[in-house]
Amino acid sequence: MKYLIVGLGNIGPEYAETRHNIGFMVLDYLAKKHDAQFDTGRHSFVTEIKTKGRTFVLVKPTTYMNLSGKAVGHWLTSLKLPVEQMMVITDDIAIPFGKIRIRTKGSAGGHNGLKHIEQTLGHNNYPRLRFGVGDTFHKGKQVDYVLSKFSEDEQIDLQALVEKAAESVLAFGTIGLERTMNQYNTK
């Protein structure tokens, strides 16, 4: 069984380890844990890991956030996978820092990466993991906030939270979406 895992983010050193790049951070953790290296693929950096008889194709789009659907569309078609076997990992300012929400579908919620994926697919019925980054920014400063690095206080717990999100991605492929949601969704 094969799964496509798409971590959203922006390429370039200026975006590394920012809130908006949490999807990249989760995939980087998974790749490192499984001794996998990312290669340049179509519209993305891509690698593959195997665990418990499952193959996970990890994709970090290189199109910048606003065009993430290009990578999603290409890899779903190339791998001949249904959207039910894909999970998108993204940041979410509407969720408190460190909480994760795994859903079977949902709105883009103002997230440009999710908007483009929805436009590309023609629907919003695909699994996603929303990683809460909080909303401690002043009005009109949302872009600056999501493109900034995590605070010192947040960094204390960040690695453990990334690991938990990574575990939930693997659970998605091994125990199924419903059980993963029951086990990993935090209140």
Cite the active site residues.
20
The CA angle 38-44-49, to the nearest 5 degrees, is 40
Distance, CA of 169 to CA of 172 (rounded, Å):
5
Quickly tell me which residue has 């844990």 as its tokens: 33
| Dihedral, 88, 92, 94, 100 alpha carbons, nearest 10 | 70
The β-bridge relationship of strands 2-7 and 39-41 is unpaired
Dihedral sign of CA atoms 33, 83, 60, 182 in order: negative
